[in-house]
């Protein structure tokens, strides 16, 4: 069955079906899942195992949406959905945040629009001239240094100009942990040994209560 035929059968747009195929973390409502399952003759637990696991989980682990062996394994579509879907607050607490400008098209325009709509946008960035940054550069030993990556982010922010609702500040406290939050969802990366940021594992968390995994990460 083609994507357009499936869309007609279950009463959704072809674009919706395309999103299901492109982003495994995106699942339709339970009723629609059953319709798709019937149309394809495949169990919903096979089509959307994560959605089924979310229903079954009862403890704090229910807040774990997904786990990636390294940050680059997370589809850029997930980042795009989280950025574009946030309404209250977006926080980029990566030490350099450099990769965002490389992987997200028109990021500056999108963040400016978010801030204009009342969404708080915050950047927490390492100081390119600090001793912590210099030590990290010695550990990584790569041509594109930590300080250079930070300065690329600073330049991108400078080019955005003064934007009400967007703020950025320096901090060395998060050198070992990157936290990217979007309303009630988060992407968290603990930095291991000499691994670069994109080589470190990452968790996708969704806040469902006040005592789960995401609450602890927000307190870092």
What is the C-alpha to C-alpha distance for residues 138 and 136, in angstroms, rounded to an integer? 5
Q: Which residues contact 171 (CB under 8 A, 6 or more apart)?
A: 124, 125, 126, 127
Please, how many CA atoms are within 13 Å of residue 217, restricted to the half-sphere of its CB? 29
Q: What is the pLDDT of residue 143?
A: 92
- Predicted TM-score (pTM) of this structure: 0.68
Q: Please give the domain boundaries of the chain with CATH numbers for all domains.
A: 3-56 (1.10.260), 62-218 (3.30.870)
Q: What is the pLDDT of residue 17?
A: 84
Per-residue pLDDT in tens (0 to 9) along the chain, 220 residues: 888 888 889 888 988 888 877 876 677 777 787 888 888 887 776 776 666 666 655 555 668 888 999 888 999 999 999 999 999 999 999 999 999 999 999 999 999 999 999 999 999 999 999 999 999 888 888 899 999 999 999 999 999 999 999 999 999 887 788 999 999 999 999 877 665 666 789 999 998 765 555 555 554 4
DSSP string, 53-65: HHHH--SGGGGEE
What is the C-alpha to C-alpha distance for residues 176 and 173, in angstroms, rounded to an integer? 8
Q: What is the pLDDT of residue 3?
A: 84
Strands 120-125 and 166-170: parallel
């Amino acid at each position: 069955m083609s994507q357009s035929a499936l869309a007609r059968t279950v009463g959704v747009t072809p674009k919706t079906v395309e999103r299901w195929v492109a982003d495994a973390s995106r699942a339709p409502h339970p009723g629609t899942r059953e319709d798709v399952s019937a149309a394809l003759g495949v169990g919903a637990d096979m089509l959307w195992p994560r959605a089924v696991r979310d229903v079954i989980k009862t403890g704090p682990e229910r807040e774990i949406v997904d786990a990636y062996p390294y940050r680059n394994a997370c589809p850029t579509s997930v980042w795009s959905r989280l950025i574009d879907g946030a309404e209250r607050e977006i926080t980029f607490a990566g030490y350099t945040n450099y990769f965002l400008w490389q992987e997200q098209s028109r990021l500056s325009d999108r963040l400016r629009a978010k801030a204009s709509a009342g969404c708080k946008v915050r950047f927490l960035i390492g100081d390119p001239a600090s001793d912590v940054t210099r030590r990290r550069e010695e550990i990584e030993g790569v041509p594109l240094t930590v300080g250079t990556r930070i300065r690329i982010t600073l330049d991108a922010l400078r080019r955005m100009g003064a934007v009400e609702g967007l703020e950025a500040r320096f901090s060395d406290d998060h050198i070992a942990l990157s936290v990217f939050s979007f309303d009630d969802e988060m992407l968290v990366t603990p930095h291991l040994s000499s691994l670069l940021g994109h080589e470190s594992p990452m968790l996708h968390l969704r806040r469902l209560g006040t005592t789960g995994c995401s609450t602890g990460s927000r307190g870092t």
